Amino acid sequence: MKTNSKSIYVMMFLLFFGLSTIWAQSYKIVDTGQEKYFNNFNEITQPESGAAFYGQDAQYNGYQPSYTDNGDGTITDNVTGLMWSASPDLNGDGEIKYEDKMGYEEAVETVGNVEIGGYTDWRIPTIKELYSLIMFYGLDPSGYDGTNTDELVPFINTDYFEFGFGDTDADERIIDAQFVTSTLYVGTTMNGAETMFGVNFADGRIKGYPIGAMPGGTEPKQFYVLYVRGGDNYGINDFADNGDGTITDNATGLMWQQNDSETGLNWEEALNWVQQKNNENYLGYNNWRLPNVKELQSIVDYTRAPAVTGTAAIDPVFICSIITDEGDETNYPFYWSGTTHENMMSGNQGAYVCFGEALGFMMDPFGNYQLMDVHGAGAQRSDPKEGDPDDYPVGFGPQGDVIRIYNYVRLVRDDGTQTSIGKNEESTAPDEFKLFQNYPNPFNPSTNIAYQLNTDSSVDLKVYSMLGEEINSLVSQNQSAGSYSVTWSGKDDNGEEVSSGIYIYRLETDNFVESKKMMLIR
């Protein structure tokens, strides 16, 4: 039997580390990037513990976005390990416009012919893979006049990914920047339409879109495309019932409340309810929080839909409240996140995820409103943070999205892993010095090395060969107490790429030394 060099290195890696290390946290959730704090309407200063609006997204700092531009039309996400095409510009003319879009079926049929950066194993991303790229930095509406997009910030990192709003010259709205995924809804939307979940990086939402002709049209809906490769296990949950009212997702390192709030709350009430539960030491823990919207979306089960499976779009290991919806039918709730959906109307909306049908009031040809599933269970939309749902009798927006305002809550906490660290609070300094296992591992071309300091200290973080030869000095300076992450791109101190193999990275501080192994496979 012929064995290639990569196979030899993989076998060596298994001997050094064991299988459990390879698969630990195979589904790292990239932080939303939200750094602003909000009340029900506007940006505010950081709330203190116990105050109103404490515990929102900006107060927690998860795996920060980290990308490598490979210089060949590809971008590597150093957190997820996924490699992406850098641009939806299919024509290569330097402009992103309607002609660069394609229908779902065309995208699926042609992906096998795509070659970017010398790679030919590209695929259409799943909804969880594509959503890993979304960022909630917040739109800047200053100077926006309805068509001028110069001052608008899309929901994706444009330092690395090229982006185009909807093509107004082709009679599109500027928010028509939906991107295709391979995830089909197991139910239907718009009264029977076969549906695909897509991500809109112009308006910051997940919605289900008919893959055939849109209502009132003759052509299939057109989408921008970002291709992906690698990371075959990304987005796959590994739930464990802890038998104490909590569920741990071993893939993400998050612990979830098995039940939910069992009642609807507005956004401020939801944040207050979390603080109340922490004061009660709920289920034996006092560090619960409202999940950010990407964490919340991570537990959607896209193989489920109320009309098909008779369940919410969530694994049955969880308990999900049953509600009576706006059409007096049995359904399942929307759930609040701690993420403000800042858009052209400021910060008065909070992002939520639909675990029941994403209902809307659509107008029929006779001018009558019909309540139906317009975007699919598993959609991510947004509601006003306060107010009266009765003020929206036929919903809001082109599909008449139902407005509930009083949404449900499912608590989350970090299950002893490096996932979400409090920002800007003295009480959140790490309890100990610690060096974490790099991720991804094995890796190519780069990997993240995270560590934490519980006091100010001198820090040396270096990479060595297995023979003890120093390869690269990644950090050599004094640092304050806190959590840090450094990217090693597989190069030595001279900027030259090193060969495949096992390397040692070593953290040395004033009173702490630890080393770990990692594997580079080229």
The backbone torsions φ and ψ at residue 140, rounded to the nearest 5 degrees and listed phi first, read: -105, 105
Average pLDDT over residues 155-184: 95
| pLDDT recorded at residue 141 | 52
Average pLDDT over residues 64-76: 94
State the virtual CA torsion across 140, 144, 147, 151 in degrees, nearest 10.
Answer: -40
| pLDDT recorded at residue 22 | 40
| pLDDT recorded at residue 362 | 94
What band does 178 get if pLDDT is binned at 50, 70 and 90?
Answer: very high
The label of the residue with tokens 């970090």 reads: 414
Is pLDDT above 90 for 205?
yes
DSSP 518: E
Is pLDDT above 50 for 3?
no
The label of the residue with tokens 């990308």 reads: 67
Cβ atoms of residues 134 and 203 within 8 Å: no
| pLDDT recorded at residue 424 | 40
| pLDDT recorded at residue 70 | 95
Distance, CA of 313 to CA of 466 (rounded, Å): 47
- 3-state secondary structure labels for all residues of 205-234: EEEEEECCECCCCCCECCEECCCEECCCCC
pLDDT (tens digit, 9 = 90+) per residue, 456-499? 899 999 999 988 899 999 999 988 888 788 889 899 999 999 99
| pLDDT recorded at residue 132 | 98
Is pLDDT above 80 for 271?
yes
Average pLDDT over residues 268-294: 96
| pLDDT recorded at residue 152 | 83
What band does 184 get if pLDDT is binned at 50, 70 and 90?
Answer: very high
What band does 93 get if pLDDT is binned at 50, 70 and 90?
Answer: very high
Is pLDDT above 80 for 317?
yes
In order of 281, 341, 361, the CA distances from 419 in angstroms are: 21, 22, 38
Higher-confidence residue: 354 or 22? 354
Average pLDDT over residues 91-116: 95
What band does 421 get if pLDDT is binned at 50, 70 and 90?
Answer: very low
| pLDDT recorded at residue 448 | 83
Average pLDDT over residues 56-73: 93
Classify 65 in phi/psi space as left (phi over 0), alpha (psi -120 to 50) or beta.
Answer: beta
Residue 248 identity (one-letter amino acid):
T
What band does 12 get if pLDDT is binned at 50, 70 and 90?
Answer: low
Is pLDDT above 90 for 337?
yes
| pLDDT recorded at residue 364 | 85
Cβ atoms of residues 26 and 59 within 8 Å: no
pLDDT (tens digit, 9 = 90+) per residue, 295-309? 999 999 999 999 999
| pLDDT recorded at residue 336 | 98
The backbone torsions φ and ψ at residue 205, rounded to the nearest 5 degrees and listed phi first, read: -145, 155
Higher-confidence residue: 379 or 415? 379
Hey, what are 340's tokens?
């403000």
Average pLDDT over residues 361-383: 94
Is pLDDT above 50 for 249?
yes
| pLDDT recorded at residue 347 | 87
Share of the chain above pLDDT 90, in %: 71
> What mean pLDDT is reported for the chain?
89
CA 98 to chain CA centroid, nearest Å? 26
| pLDDT recorded at residue 208 | 98
pLDDT (tens digit, 9 = 90+) per residue, 13-42? 444 444 443 445 889 999 999 999 999 999
| pLDDT recorded at residue 372 | 98
Q: Is 166 helix (H, G, I), strand (E, B) or coil?
A: coil
Closest by CA to 45, choosing from 61, 60, 58, 32, is: 58
Least confident of 264-268, 439-443, 508-512: 439-443
Q: Is 374 helix (H, G, I), strand (E, B) or coil?
A: coil
| pLDDT recorded at residue 19 | 40
Query: Whole-prediction pTM value?
Result: 0.78
Average pLDDT over residues 170-187: 95
